[in-house]
Structure 1
Amino acid sequence: MHCGNRLFLCVALCVTSLPLALTAESSSDAWITMFNGQDLSGWKANPENPDSFHVEDGVLVVDGPRCHLFWIGDPENSEDEQLTNFHWHAKVKTMPKANGGLYFHTQYEESGWPFAGYECQVNQTHKDRKKTGGLYAVADVLDTSPVKDGEWYDYDIIVDGKHIVIKINGVVTTDWTEPDDWQPPKKMSGRRLSQGTFAIQAHDPESVVHYKDIRMKRLP
């Protein structure tokens, strides 16, 4: 090929690729990193059993008695902890017989199980019939988990208006819309969509769950 033609082709390819590169960068900018892999910055464990959460080799390790780790984000910007529509993502790995949970639209509490918001189940082989990928006590995945202990998997939670979608490794396990006349389960009157923050659950001393690549982006 003639040298001049080669130069023209190179410039043309660079110009053509530029919008695609900018689009990809703009898209990724929407994601907010929630876990830096070094410490629990942006998070607050309640005083029940805060040692149930620690960071090891870039991984958030949940291992200990009941406690909940709440996302507080930037303390100077309370908007960080009050979300309505969002896409939340993490990589999760459970040890045998572990039970855990991921809460959204919840609020910080000093102790006990969070009252406000919904819980997304994390459980492959714990005795509880409610398994990973279900909306706890609302739209459950019963008896058979879509994934195995000891393996990393993708956990995605998407909330848009009244619509809740949970995906495990890209496969939809829950697709549920809160009815206008919604009546929450007995003794769970806080199971309603509103707005709030996220919380990660330490369920019991026998349950060990690992998390990494925790991030979210706001949706309109």
Structure 2
Amino acid sequence: MTPFGSLFPVKVVRVTLVAVLGCCLPSPPVRGQDTGIQDQASSSQVKLFDGKTLQGFNGDEAWFRVQDGVIIAGSLEKPIPHNYFLCTDKTYSDFELTVEAKLVGQGNNAGVQFRTKRIPNDTEVIGYQADIGFVNQSTPCWGALYDESRRRKFLDESPQKAMKALKRGDWNQLKVIAKGDHIQIFLNGVQTVDYVEQDPKIEREGVIALQVHSGPPLEAHYRNLQLRILED
């Protein structure tokens, strides 16, 4: 039998190994990809919504229901008298959250709260919000970072990027990545927020909540909620 080495000269073996190893090594990230700070940590997935019930959430059942795998907040039959929030029973700190949302009706605002807490004896909550909707019916606040009931202002926003990324009247995906002081928000894969919290008094943990805003008849639809806990 011919020795193995005589069939594969040294130079050929080296080239082959390099080629094989090159195929196995991970490729560097492509510039512009939706790669957030979640790449810096391991993660574990949490099931927030079972697609059938509101188990694991708390809120006014008069304003929240489940239909065909979708959480529907609000009503098309009457005005919304207050802001209403459907909150998770558990609190979360560092995570990647994705959710698809759509607005139906005359109203034009809702949002996804995170690192949030309820205000006692009130329908309101306090905390960060990944905003959904429009300002003055024209300028999108989709994908903006708003501070609900606290500083009461937008902390970061990109209305021009949001306008290009938005699928008006259709489902849109929001992704929120919160890790320590750093918060990123993506709208349909386009980054609209890159914010670093400077105030040490602001809480870094809280519930996740789905909002329907007060005003004209409106339904805010939410589906495909996915949560990954980010760990060091």
Q: Same fold (TM over 0.5)?
A: yes
Instruction: Show the counterpart of 2:178.
Output: 159
1:67 and 2:80 equivalent? no
| Helix, strand or coil at the partner of 1:84 | coil
For residue 153 of structure 1, report the CA deviation from its aligned partner. 1.9
- Contact 1:67–1:111, Cα closer than 8 Å, also in 2: no
**2:62 maps to 1:43:** no
For normalisation by structure 2, the TM-score amounts to 0.66
Instruction: Tell me how far 1:100 sits from its aligned partner.
Output: 0.1
Question: Does the alignment pair 1:207 with 2:182?
Answer: no
1:1-220 alignment to 2 at 5 Å? 30-45=44-59, 47=60, 50-64=61-75, 65=80, 66-72=83-89, 81-95=90-104, 97-109=107-119, 110-115=121-126, 117-124=127-134, 127=137, 129=139, 131-136=141-146, 137-142=154-159, 145=163, 146-179=165-198, 182=199, 192-204=202-214, 205-220=216-231
**Structure 2: any 5+ residue segments left out of the alignment?**
1-42, 147-153
What's the TM-score, normalizing by structure 1? 0.69
Gaps of 5+ in 1: 1-28, 73-80, 184-189
Q: Map Cα deviations across residues 108-136 of structure 1 (whole Å, 9 max, x no partner).
A: 33424312x21110014764856100001
Q: CA RMSD in A?
A: 2.4
Which structure's CA Rg is the greater one? 2
Hey, what's the Cα distance between the residues in 1 that align with 2:63 and 2:191?
30
Report the Cα offset of residue 215 of structure 1: 1.8
Residue 39 of structure 2 corresponds to which residue in structure 1? none
Alpha-carbon distance change, 126 to 59 in structure 1, aligned in 2, over 3 angstroms? farther
CA contact (8 A) 2:181 2:204 kept: no
Q: Which amino acid aligns with 1:172?
A: Q
After TM superposition, which residue ranges in structure 1, 4 or more long, deviate above 4 angstroms?
A: none
Q: What is the count of residue pairs matched by the alignment?
A: 171
Among the aligned pairs, what percent are the same residue?
Answer: 25
- Looking at structure 2, the residues matched to 176 and 162 of structure 1 have their Cα atoms a distance apart, in angstroms, of 8
8 Å contact 1:60–1:210 — kept in the other structure? Answer: yes
